[in-house]
Structure 1
């Protein structure tokens, strides 16, 4: 119980660091209080992972005392800077219904997670938790890249394992509560983030968006599974809603925050690197260049951090092997693309997983296309399109068995951009927005 409480405190410390850092950076910008509240945990946890990684890189192990001292020092410094900011975040005015829906989401998620409090699926243990244990216990953290551990995908980034290690360090020992709390917090913050961002278009948009998300069995199930797909979906969504803030308010600082979250996503999962490219491409096509440049400026440091990690490990990606790609013919690639589409068509019809989410999006896209697909927001669905086109390309070129890979990963890739689509459609549909 004590270890679980301390693990929770570690994440609260990270959240406080993230809140102060965002507020100090956005000191002269309009900052809705609820939006800042739900952006803070992601930013803070990335900062925690950043601190621990460089402790690993330079000292080859993580010192508990140094890690805690670094966090507390940073928190004190940022708090001092926050106290000196002239403009306070806007008061939260979302109303009782907003927090009632968020509470319902928390209870529903808790009920799902208590059925399997240690997570579901092999990847949770064979990839993320085993890396965290090696980092926490091993004298040399590079042991996670040993040939005998190829099954754990050594090319995968370390945000998730380091977030677990941070809680264990604060608690003084390993505790299963860390992964439980991390999954619960990231999923609930993702729901809150979508609702807080949608609230700018009216309370009804916020309510419907939140209820829609938590009514999808696959979304709540993935949140409770402790996989890394909900955290990466959180960073994708944070990047999108921050850029929407930038464009609506003509504020380049929010564009830099958007770029920061997009860059951070690359250290959560490899898909984040593809998202950053898709995001840049859609912005280049349909927004002013100054916002694209501000986004790139905000994201390049974090992107460089992920590239630095990749170069320091030299671990090949298990999906793409140059020698296998060179043997593929055009006919084989087209055949594989057909297989991808057939699996996708089957997936969106799974009402036990997705309820009727995808048909709802389809109906909105057809009957309200003029209202929804306006030029001012077309960059959002385009980002999702480019991202998923990239996924399809990887599937077509993979050296692994394609049907097997689609069966085990397609639904997880789809959940990564699902909150973004929820935000897009349910803030654009005219009958959802407040009159």
Structure 2
């Protein structure tokens, strides 16, 4: 049974892959890597939402949820049969690959394998994950699995971060409920799938945008970032949140860049944005930031009729995860331990102490040189990549670049003010969380960096690339 427990992860993965295929294949703008990578956070997110609703109405252990999964898989498989003739557009044509294509793809695979070995080594050292994993996420999965009809009663104010959303606990509990046992193989595997979906999403998205070889370089940067692999292996929720933030950002870019199939991408952008809010509290800040930027971006980019259609599909995508989030927050979740809505005076007082702003910035500063776990300062590496690959802001990428830049800037600003108003010791709070907050935005930042880099295209591009190197 020990290894067979992995089969319990198959239904949500299938649902995510089939849904991604149904929506993206007709656009002819995706690829197999993007489909597979987006399917992982999509499938886990949808199943966690549906299981929460099932548990809220009945109980987690109430029999029959597997029937919903089977019906959903069958329905998605059936409607995907209509797209089978278009799958040929997604099959790679290896005959047209250049030596650089082969080199980058093989390098991607090699670095991914090295990362997997490092991931497995970290898991052996921390089989239950680090503190947040077993004190917040896995313990809630056990509450769901063991609680039966009384699972709702555990959400009391004394519960550590009791108001945190439940995507990860319900994802883990889903497998335990199907297997009938609390297998400790499941949490690391869920973390692994989320972690490795991130370089796949970035690479696949940039390939869809015509970046070709440049996309593999972006994936290599992510795969070779030690902290991404480490944070994933110790089962922090920051990596799943980063995956959903990245997915929403990618789909928003495609709304602007793929004008013919914009409604599909608007729906997906809304879905992933909602799933980010269902992953962690910081995802709710992302929800507000994302909607704000989207409203402004759509107003300036589309005519009224087209804009309203996009807003409608975005709202439909948001519907399930945001409904589940509100249901949890207003019926089960205790008060937040950082912002006390019943007594805002301490937070307001901190906002008026202007010396605190400089104190926060000063405390944050050391993390920019050590972030990522690289041996050198990672911003310098990014700067050199930008110089070599000729950044260009064009008509095609302008809306996407400005939107993602605005989202990242506003998200960071929100984090900054959280530290300003925090009731906890500032140094301790930043030491315990800031590097992980940066990880939320890191994959989307890599996407932003490569969005306006010049693609390396066959002979002309390679000559330019070599000329810039010399």
Normalised by the length of structure 2, the TM-score is: 0.84
Q: What does residue range 21-420 of structure 1 map to in structure 2 within 5 Å? A: 21-26=19-24, 28-30=26-28, 31-63=30-62, 65-85=63-83, 88-89=86-87, 90-93=89-92, 96=102, 97-98=104-105, 101-102=108-109, 104-117=111-124, 118-139=127-148, 140-148=150-158, 150-151=159-160, 153-200=161-208, 201-250=210-259, 251-287=262-298, 288=301, 290=307, 291-292=310-311, 294-322=313-341, 325-327=344-346, 328-329=348-349, 333-350=353-370, 353-354=373-374, 355-361=376-382, 371-372=392-393, 375-376=398-399, 377-420=401-444
Residues 23-54 of structure 1 show CA distances to partners (whole Å, capped at 9, x for unaligned) of 33446422433211111111111121122111
Partner of 2:98: none
Alignment match, 2:466 = none
**Gap runs ≥5 in structure 1:** none
Q: 1:332: Cα distance to partner? A: 5.1
Residues 135-180 of structure 1: CA deviation (Å, up to 9, x unaligned): 10113112331344x22x1100111011111111232211111011
In structure 2, C-alpha distance between the alignment counterparts of 1:425 and 1:321, rounded to whole Å: 37
Using the TM superposition, give the Cα deviation of residue 368 of structure 1 relative to its aligned residue in structure 2, in angstroms: 8.8
- For residues 196 and 350 of structure 2, the distance between their equivalents in structure 1, rounded to whole angstroms, comes to 44
* Shift in Å, 1:84: 3.1
- 1:262-308 CA-to-partner distances (Å, cap 9, x unmatched) read 11111111111111211122223334351455433422442222112
State the TM-score, normalizing by the size of structure 1. Answer: 0.90
Distance 1:245 1:34, change over 3 A: same
Deviations 1:398-435 (A, max 9, x none): 22222211110000000011001111112322376773
What's the CA shift for 1:128? 0.5
State the secondary structure of the residue aligned to 1:430.
coil
RMSD of equivalent CA atoms: 2.6
Q: Is the 8 A contact 2:207 2:215 kept in 1?
A: yes
- Find the residue that maps to 1:378 and give its secondary structure: helix
What is the rounded CA distance, in whole Å, between the counterparts of 1:315 and 1:366 in structure 2? 49
Q: 170-179 vs 28-37, which deviates more? A: 28-37
Structure 1 range deviating more: 330-339 or 379-388 = 330-339
Of the structure 1 ranges 372-381 and 340-349, higher mean CA displacement relative to structure 2 is found in 372-381
Distance 1:199 1:346 in 2: 34
- How many corresponding residue pairs? 430
2: distance between equivalents of 1:351 and 1:370? 24
Residues 312 and 370 of structure 1, relative CA distance in 2, 3 Å threshold: same
Contact persistence 1:16–1:75 (CA under 8 A): yes
Deviation of the 1:223 alpha carbon = 1.5
Report the Cα offset of residue 387 of structure 1.
0.8
- Classify 1:308/1:400 alpha carbon distance in 2 versus 1 (closer, same or farther; 3 Å): same
Contact conserved, 1:35 with 1:193, CA < 8 A, in 2?
Answer: yes
Deviates more, 1:28-37 or 1:383-392: 28-37
Structure 2 portions without partners, runs of 5+: 95-100, 462-470
